[in-house]
Amino acid sequence: MNTFGDYIKQLRGDISIRQAAKDIGVSHTYLDSLEKGYDLRTNSKRSPSVMTVHKIAEHYNADFKQLCEMIITDIDD
């Protein structure tokens, strides 16, 4: 399950992943791996840093703590 990734993808809506990544301040490949929950190159789980979560929360006007709880839930699964 990828609660965090599914949620930020939902928040992104119809905006392209490249545009969203540019606005957030991360690469589009990194944002894509966060939305998918894993790194395609290594096939390992992908979790963002606290700073990245903060950037995402600010960009989407989302609750930082809620995003962090989603990440913890995903790690525990």
pLDDT digits (tens, 9 = 90+) for 9-43: 999 999 999 999 999 999 999 999 999 998 888 88
Which residue in 65, 66, 4 sits closest to 36, CA to CA?
4
pLDDT for res 40: 84
Taken as a whole, the chain contains a residue count of: 77
Q: Is residue 1's pLDDT more than 90? A: no
Residue with tokens 């390992």: 44
For residues 16-54, one letter each, b for 16 or more C-beta atoms within 10 angstroms of the residue's C-beta and e for the rest, the string is eeeebbeebebeeeebbbbbebeeeeeeeebebeeebbe
pLDDT for res 76: 77
Mean pLDDT of the residues in the chain: 94
Fold of 3-76: 434 Repressor (Amino-terminal Domain) (1.10.260)
pLDDT for res 31: 97
pLDDT mean over 62-76 = 93
